[in-house]
Structure 1
């Protein structure tokens, strides 16, 4: 009888351990899931078509990238070249963009 009790206890403990190992671990949120949480929080108070439109735009929005150094230089040189035309503008842009 004692062996039967020990065998039952051992069997139930192994079944418990197996059940613990088989339980799926919570997965980390994907970027889309995180975006959904943020958009949902921002959509508080919106209803119906207004909410649908907002959520569609929010979820499809691409992250904004910072401009590169070349893009920043181009923007600055373009602003400085206002009023110049033709060869004068070309020469100015060439020297401005080359950093001289």
Structure 2
């Protein structure tokens, strides 16, 4: 019985340290462009959901997140992307954020 308890406690310590290492290394990773786009879409849908609650909110979020970009949104992206030119990294990210928020239709 002591061996089982010793094994379980050692396993718990090992699993905890492995989880902590994964969490620490995961915090430094930058999201892929697709993940970043999904995060932005989730932010926008969440903002648009406003005070909706329960099933109404769940249905709204499902529809909002599954909707593809509208032609107007696609056009904004094309224009801002073209205007961004050779900008890279944080400079491009900041430019695109400003550009897309400034050109709301």
TM-score, normalised relative to structure 2:
0.36
TM-score where L is the length of structure 1: 0.38
Structure (1/2) with the larger helix percentage: 2
